[in-house]
Amino acid sequence: MSTDVTIQVEPSGPYISSLASYVNDARDFRDAAQSALGAVTAAAADMAANKTATDAARLATEAASTAAAASAASALGAKDNAASAAVAAASVVLTHDRYRNQLDDWRALLVPERPSLFQRFTDSTYFARDRVVTSDFPVFLAATNGAFTRASGATALDSAGKLIEFAAGSPRVTDRGLLMEGGGTNLIRNPRCEGAAAGSPGTLPTYMSGSATSNGISRQVVGTGVENGVPYVDVRYAGTSVSAGRIILIIFAASGSIAAAAGETFTASFYSRIVAGSVANLSYIRLEVLGSSADGSETETPAGANIVDGGITKTTVTHAIASLAYVVPRLAISTGSGIAVDFTVRIGAPQLEKYPFATSPILPPVGSPAQATRVGDRVVSTRTSPAALSKAIRGRPAPTNTTQVLWQADDGTSNNMIRVRRNGVGDVYATAVIASVTVLDVRIGAVADNAEFRLAFRWAANDFTASLNGATVVTNTAAAMPAGLVNERLGHATGGNEWFGTIRDNHEWPILHTNGNLQTLSTL
């Protein structure tokens, strides 16, 4: 088996050339091992090839030392340039090897054709035939006539539960995939929990309130910090309850500050953890969204959810009373009379939004507590209008009661397009529109909320076939292929309908896969 590419670095110097030679020798050795010496030796060769990054650092250090006779500035420049070139070369090698390994897996399953487009977001592997191999998604988009836009900062959780903040215009790629969401506003003004001061009772974060002592239970603000990227405040509650009933611990937004109307839906969420003591003797400790009338009286029993110890607590509420004027997000406990209470709760990134589900935390800039807004994510690529193609897509949808568009190709409008969408009850459809007339609308299967799925399909004139999660293919042979499909979109349609979920894989072939290949691809 021969290597597919040879690493070349320009301008070439002795150390960078040595790196290129090392990389190519290692890959040749691996290929030879795969052919002649078996999987064990091949695995060892893979390990040798993966040492590229270590050798890159060594070569960069050597390159810097050769400039010792020059000025300090020249030496620093030589080191930085050599290091950058070495790391870039190593990154290309490792990315291409991940791509080649996937091709090997597909060939073993009798899917021999090479894709023209390969996007695997979970390990940042991107390939476009004859154009680019890279681990950098923005670089990939620039090389393939694509663009990502989001005119605000945003956050995403990785698979370890760490909250990562992304700057405006930066795609949210983690080891969970590419997160695509619509716009939204966090109606709680201080999700970073800023302005708190430790003490007994201490000072709660700015814009939050709560009694120093209620029903025999006293408050102590322990402190603030950041855990797994989540800003938080720790608050201790201790004492013996005087009587049975509910005790309001923290009000996240002042009464009357979050306007509401009958029939509106809100979802509250926050990170919660019991960091000391126990809540076992409480009837509940929960996140609530209280509905109130204009005069401040409660209009109905607040809906809520018991907190998750060490995770995200969320509750969705629709208050239907006609006199509803505002809502109040808060944390409350319920206890019997004479109950000893002593626990410390960690509260991080509280959020209230007008969605029927919780989206990623929306945070204002550090030091500027205020209601913050996230703009929707957009990925659009310019392409040649396909007469035929095959796709393999893997993702996970958020719960929603509206249409979600995962993938679409169009002429810049909704008048001529093909798309894959999921409706409000979880059914997945393929739709084609020609001159504003729907010519194809085929149900492929169903995907549950937050459930990962794998979809493979082929699309040509009078030939649409798809398999969802390895199921028997669904076929339609009665619809023409729209013309002028020069835009490809991930995660949304031209008129909205955001995906609100993660996309893990987006691969394309310029040929029509067999039914068997589609079923195979939809199981990987």
pLDDT of 303 strictly over 60: yes
Tens digits of residue pLDDT in 330-341:
999 999 999 999
Residue 492 — very low, low, confident or very high, per pLDDT cuts 50/70/90?
Answer: confident
Rounded mean pLDDT, 198-208: 98
Burial string for 124-160 (b: 16+ CB within 10 Å, else e) reads bbbbbeeebbbbbbeebbeebbbebebebbbbbbeee
pLDDT of 323 strictly over 50: yes
- Peptide bond before residue 364 is cis, with ω within 30 degrees of 0: no
pLDDT of 281 strictly over 50: yes
**Where do the H-state alpha helices sit in 185-252?**
none
pLDDT for res 5: 41
114 or 38: which leads in pLDDT = 114
Decide: 399 and 449 in contact? Cβ < 8 Å. yes
Chain position carrying tokens 């953890």: 273
Return the minimum-mean-pLDDT range out of 92-96, 161-165, 439-443: 92-96
E runs forming strands in 142-299: 146-149, 154-157, 163-166, 172-174, 177-180, 184-186, 213-214, 217-227, 230-240, 245-251, 265-278, 284-293
Return the minimum-mean-pLDDT range out of 2-11, 149-158, 332-341: 2-11
Rounded mean pLDDT, 302-323: 91
The pLDDT mean for the chain works out to 86
pLDDT of 129 strictly over 80: yes
pLDDT of 17 strictly over 80: no
Beta pairing class for 245-251 and 324-335? antiparallel
pLDDT for res 108: 84
DSSP summary character for residue 481: P
Element (H, E) at 91: helix 72-108
pLDDT of 37 strictly over 60: no
Question: If we measure between CA atoms, which residue out of 430, 419, 414, 383 comes closest to residue 491?
Answer: 419
Return the minimum-mean-pLDDT range out of 12-21, 110-119, 406-415, 511-520: 12-21
492 or 350: which leads in pLDDT = 350
pLDDT for res 105: 84
pLDDT for res 46: 55
Rounded mean pLDDT, 428-433: 97
pLDDT for res 103: 83
pLDDT of 70 strictly over 90: no
pLDDT of 462 strictly over 50: yes
pLDDT of 353 strictly over 90: yes
**Angstrom distance (rounded) from CA 474 to CA 270:** 41
How large a percentage of the chain has pLDDT more than 90? 69
Return the minimum-mean-pLDDT range out of 8-22, 285-299, 360-374, 484-498: 8-22
Rounded mean pLDDT, 253-263: 93
pLDDT for res 74: 56
SS3 state of residue 338: coil
Return the minimum-mean-pLDDT range out of 1-10, 234-243, 308-317: 1-10
Return the minimum-mean-pLDDT range out of 3-7, 109-113, 214-218, 238-242: 3-7
pLDDT for res 80: 63
pLDDT of 71 strictly over 60: no
Rounded mean pLDDT, 417-431: 94
Give 371-401 as a 3 state SS string: CEEECCCEEEEECCCCCEEEEEEEEEECCCC
pLDDT of 235 strictly over 90: yes
pLDDT of 312 strictly over 70: yes
Give the chain's radius of gyration (CA, Å): 28
Return the minimum-mean-pLDDT range out of 36-40, 109-113, 185-189, 414-418: 36-40
CA 464 to chain centre: 30
Question: If we measure between CA atoms, which residue out of 154, 216, 207, 226 comes closest to residue 330?
Answer: 207
pLDDT for res 41: 44
pLDDT for res 67: 47
Rounded mean pLDDT, 360-378: 96
Give burial (CB, 10 Å; 0-12/13-18/19+) of 82: buried
pLDDT for res 15: 44
298 or 177: which leads in pLDDT = 177
pLDDT of 479 strictly over 90: yes
